Each structure stands twice: as structure tokens, then as C-alpha cells.
Amino acid sequence: MNSVLPGAPWLIAHRSMLGINQPYKLTLNHQDYVLWQTTKGKIKALSNVCPHQQAPLSNGWICPDHDVIVCPFHTLTFNDQGQLCRDGKPEGRPLVNSLELIVKDDFIWTYGGHEPRLPIPELHQQLVSDYEFVGVAVSRAIQGDFLSNVLINYDYNHQNGTHRDVLRIKDNYVSLFEQDGYQATVIQGLNRTDNSWQELVGNPALLLLPKKYEIHLDYEFPSTTVVRTSLPTGNLIQMHLLYPESFDVTRTIVLVFAQFKYSFLKAFSSAILKGVALVVEQDAAAIEMSYPRQIPKIRLPNEEILAYAERLYRDW
């Protein structure tokens, strides 16, 4: 199987993305899968290809009485082991491959059928245990290889260009960069100029963002960048997740968690999700408009952090 970073743990979905008894289609390393969550909260995953005449199972539906998925073409049913079922009773050996999942609280991980090369990170649970889940800001397929998508998260010089009309960053600095194998921590300070009234009205989440602030980034290569921001109004976590759909397409999912100092700030939840989505959209546009990667002829400050991430990718 030709895969990007085989053996990496991929965080493919948050439980809130699945609904109950609703097929959810997912592409990981060129393979399509269907996931569903049962009424009891169990999460199941199969290859998406019906073994009869190759219809996509994700276009079918779940029969909750027997916890089976029904193919939309000729209504054959399959259990989570991939066995054909009649009236809920399995017949014979599995005909559809199942996908092994590791579900930790609301985080759904998989190795995509590969031998694990890294453990499932602990960071995610640790970070969110004291936080409230705000929502999924974005789940978007980006036309771009995995390396380009991962590197933008380690790039400390793109704010003033890529995000200029949202964040209005005047200058920024990196005060800490520590790395330990596949994990790294960065602290970055940012100074902004004022947003216009039109920008604030269009993106009210900017009202929460001071002129001067620090972000604390925790990296778990290759799947995760966690951005922690302490604001006068509370603390915010953005969990930026990546996984390869194919060699040219990368999925990004951003989950947002918060500790609001005052409960009325919850009214900002949808504005925060929209504001985060806008920034991700700008990153996606930067990746999608760029020409194929070449060896850079110019170096900017802090690019050793980029080089660190690129080395992890190339030495995998």
C-alpha cells in the first residue's frame, strides 16, 4: 500500500462529527472508509466498497436494530466485522475489510491498517480535560501534499502575509523552541494593529483578541498542532489536525475548546468558530495557490523550526 507516513497515528474525527446511526465517509491514504456511531456510542468502521457491485456504503443507511449498514444499491447488509448479514445474523467470513479504530473519549484515531510506529499521543486528553468543547471550526480537504500542509503550521513568518487582513499582525517573535523527537513546543508573541470597524463587524471574534498576546504551541508530529491562547476573557485551544487523503490532498480538521471567564462569553462561540475557520481558509488558499515545492533560495528567521518538521517527514 502506498501511504504517506505509514504507521503514524491519525486523528480522523471527533465524535461530534459523526451523529448517531449516520454513515460518515472518510478517505485516508487513498482508501475510502465508512464510519458510524451506534445508539450506544460505539464507533464502527469498514472499507466503503460494497463487495457485491462496489457501491459506496456511506451512501446507504444504518439499521439500528441490528447495528448493520445497508448498501444503497441492492440493500445487502453488513456488520462491523464486514460479514454479510440476513435479519441481523452474520453469514460466513468477512467480505468487507474493517478499519481498526482507537477511540479515546471523543477522539477517534487509526493507523489506517499499518503497523504502529508511534503511540497515540496523550496530549489531547490532557489538554481538554479542563476545557469545554466549543465545536468543529472546520473539516476541509486541501489540495496540497501532506508536507506543505504540515509545514505551514511550523511557519512563523506567514502571518503578516497570509493572515494580514484578519489578524493585522505588526510583528511577531519566537521566545521558545524546544523539541524532543516528534514532540515540540513553541511560544510565539504577536503584536497587532487595530482592525477596522468593518473587520470587527464581519468577524466579532477579533473583539476578544488583544493587541499584544502570546500563543503556546504543542506539536505532535505528524497529526497535531495545538494552539493555546490565554486571553483576558478566557483560554482558548485550537487543535489543528491533519491526515493524508492521498498524495495530493490533505484533510484538515480544527477543533476548538475554551475556558470562558464569564458565561456570557459563550455567546461568542459561533463567532470564534467562524473566525478560526477564516484563518484556516487563508492557510488553505496559500497552499493551494503555491507552485510545487523547491529548495528555498532565501532564509527567514525561525526557519530552523520548519527544517525540524521537514526532517521528521523526510526521515520517517
Residues that bind Fe ion (CB under 5 A): 283
- Interface pick for ligand FES out of 7, 16, 22, 52 (rule CB under 6 A): 52
CA dihedral in degrees (1, 26, 15, 120; nearest 10)? 20
62 binding ligand FES? (CB under 6 A) = no
- What's the grid cell of residue 285? 488558499
Q: Are 254 and 276 in contact (CB under 8 A)?
A: yes
Residue 193 beta carbon to Fe ion: minimum distance, rounded to whole angstroms: 18
Write down the least CB distance from residue 266 to Fe ion, Å: 26
Which CB sits closer to ligand FES, 25 or 261?
Answer: 25
Size of residue set near ligand FES by CB under 6 A: 8
104 contacts ligand FES (rule: CB under 6 A): no
Closest distance of CB 209 from ligand FES, Å: 50
**Taking CB under 6 A as the rule, does residue 86 contact ligand FES?**
no
| Nearest distance from C-beta of residue 69 to ligand FES, angstroms | 10
CB of 64 to ligand FES, least distance (A): 19
7 sits in the region (left: phi over 0; alpha: psi -120 to 50; else beta) called left
Nearer to ligand FES, 42 or 89 (CB): 89
Whether 288 and 144 have beta carbons less than 8 Å apart is answered as yes
Q: Pick one of 11, 28, 68, 71: the residue that binds ligand FES (CB under 6 A).
A: 71
Judged by CB under 6 A, which of 27, 32, 43, 55 binds ligand FES?
55
- The beta-carbon contacts of 146-150 under 8 Å, at least 24 apart in sequence, are 146/4, 146/5, 146/222, 146/242, 146/244, 146/247, 146/250, 146/313, 147/293, 147/310, 147/313, 148/250, 148/287, 148/290, 148/293, 149/242, 149/250, 149/252, 149/287, 150/221, 150/222, 150/242, 150/309, 150/313
Closer residue to ligand FES in complex, CB, 72/113:
72
Report the distance separating Cα 173 and Cα 190, nearest Å.
7
Among 73, 133, 213, 308, binds ligand FES (CB under 6 A): 73
Nearest to 53 by CA among 88, 114, 90, 95: 95
Residue (31 or 153) nearer to ligand FES, CB: 31
What is the full DSSP assignment across 216-230?
A: EEEEETTTEEEEEEE
Residue nearest to Fe ion (CB): 283
95 binds ligand FES (CB under 6 A): no
Q: Considering Cα of 303, then 308, then 309, then 314, what sign does the dihedral take?
A: positive
Residues 6+ apart with CB under 8 A from 169: 159, 160, 163, 190, 191, 192
Report in angstroms how near the CB of residue 37 gets to ligand FES at its nearest. 22
Residue identified by cell 490532498 is: 249
Contact call for residue 42 and ligand FES (CB under 6 A):
no
The interface partner of residue 283, options being Fe ion, ligand FES, none and the CB cut-off 5 to 8 Å by kind, is: Fe ion
Interaction of residue 53 with ligand FES, rule CB under 6 A: yes
Report the residue from 68, 76, 255, 309 that binds ligand FES according to the rule CB under 6 A.
76
Which residues make up the interface to ligand FES (CB under 6 A)? Answer: 50, 52-53, 55, 71, 73-74, 76
